[in-house]
Amino acid sequence: MNQRKMILGDVWNLPREVSEVKGKDPGTFLQFNTHMVTFYQQTYGELSRFFLALRDGRLIGSHCGKCKQVMVPAATWHCPTCDFAEMTEVDLPHRGVLAATAPITIFPSASFIGDAPFARGYVDVATDAPIASFLPSRLRTTTGLPRPGIFVKGLELKLVFEDTRIGSIRDIFWVPMSEVPAKLRDKQPLLASALNFETPPAPAVERSKAGEKALKDALAAMKTLAGKIGKSPRAQKDLSGRTHAIGIKTGGGDFTLHVASSAIRIEEGLPKKPDFVMVTKDPGVFTRWVADGSLTDAAVEGNLWLPHKEAFGILPILDRLPRSVRRDVK
């Protein structure tokens, strides 16, 4: 697959680095690179203690001995409710509960470019405290790309740490506890390499007579589109330099979408070695795509299963093809 090029050249993109500095107050602070119109460095200030703990594989909060509240992340060490009484460090469990159903981010901020789509939500970690804040975090699943219905309010979660950490909120994410093997559920810290995110099993799909008819219509529509791409300079440019063998399983049967030499080819059955596999119960997803629908929308809405973000990256390219063909072929 082609690598995406940043709009700004490398000279304008600061590396994601974190370094330690000594502040006037006791302790070590972390400073990190960021950018707006100009580039500068800033520190995490009092939050440095929280991010240093993440770097060490720990999750901490600040605890007030008077009102018993726990702040996570530990944004301050002086309680704003109790006349700024000094707060103490408390280690928090590596499990939590999703406080509200999580949205799925498709267009991320600069700090998360290349990670989308991903889910994000608020995790209730200090569940035993009478007052506690929620930790805003990334959410991941071992069952493919995030989709509606997975990260719902009340879901029990397990904290996972990246194998390599720098002291950043990107060092951690949460997964559904049900996806973690029983022997790993109490492990602290649990590293990302202990779970399988690379090759999630494709979901089973039940075939039906209605699905078979819908697939027949979809195959006919896609083959018509494929024939027109040879007459469309715009569509050929969309596909330039790309080579894919995409296996697609549907409720009407399986087929392969080949991309090569600035063209597409539709073939019934799955390839022996697909680059990846998509799954949908409704073959009509592809009929609607040809008629100016959107495979991207189908994936976001949960109607098209994808194994990973690299698979998601090809969808906007495919979505351009019907529009390009209509502009060139009358």
Question: Given pLDDT bands bounded at 50, 70 and 90, which one contains residue 10?
Answer: low
Residue 36 is predicted with a pLDDT of 60
Q: Where are the domains of the chain?
A: 10-194, 209-328
Q: What is the mean pLDDT of residues 245-273?
A: 97
What is the percentage of the chain residues whose pLDDT exceeds 70? 94
Residue 185 is predicted with a pLDDT of 98
Question: Given pLDDT bands bounded at 50, 70 and 90, which one contains residue 18?
Answer: confident
Q: What is the mean pLDDT of residues 131-135?
A: 94
What is the percentage of the chain residues whose pLDDT exceeds 90? 80
Residue 110 to residue 108: CA distance in whole angstroms: 7
Q: What is the mean pLDDT of residues 156-180?
A: 97
* Assigned CATH for 209-328: 3.30.1050.10
pTM of the model: 0.81
pLDDT digit string, tens, across residues 29-67: 888 887 665 667 889 899 999 999 999 999 999 999 999
Q: Is the pLDDT of residue 207 over 50?
A: yes
Q: What is the mean pLDDT of residues 197-221?
A: 96
